[in-house]
Amino acid sequence: MVEEIENIEALPGETVTLISELPEAGLEVTWLKDNVPLRLSGEKYEAVNLDFSYQLVVPDVSQEDAGVYKVQGGQHEAVFSVSVNGKCCPARFCFWHKICGQQHNSAVDFVSSCK
C-alpha cells in the first residue's frame, strides 16, 4: 500500500522531521532519497522508530536535501517530496506527519540560539 506524495517546503537551515504512521508496529523499514537507500549511520540523517511511527530527521537542510523521500516497510510505503527554498531560518523546526493518509504539519519557532 502506497500513501500519496506529500509536498513539503523547508527553508535552508531548518530541521525537517518526516513522520509516517504505518499500520504495523516494529517493521524493519528502509528510508530512500530519490530511490537511493540512505546511510543512516552517518551524521546527516537520524531514523527513529516508535511503535507505529517511523521518523526521519534531516537537520540543517540545504538545496542538496531537496528530493523525494520514501519509507518502505513490509507492504507499506509513504512518500514525501521535500523542496528547500527561501532564506535561512535555522531556529525553526518543521514536523510532517502522515497519519492514516492525512497530512498534519506543525512548526515550532525557538527564540534561543541554535546549536
Q: Domain-by-domain residue ranges, the chain?
A: 6-104
Fold of the domain built from segment(s) 6-104 = Immunoglobulin-like (2.60.40)
Residue environment code for 88-115, b if the CB has 16+ CB neighbours within 10 A, otherwise e:
eebbbbbbbbbeeeeeeeeeeeeeeeee
- Tally the residues of the chain: 115
Q: Name residues whose C-beta falls within 8 Å of residue 106's C-beta, 6 or more positions apart in sequence.
A: 94, 95
- List residues bridging with 94 in a β-sheet: 16, 107
Q: What is the pLDDT of residues 63-113, one digit of tens each?
A: 999 999 999 988 888 888 898 986 444 434 444 444 444 444 444 333 222
Residue 16 grid coordinates: 525537517
**Rounded to two decimals, what is the model's pTM?**
0.72
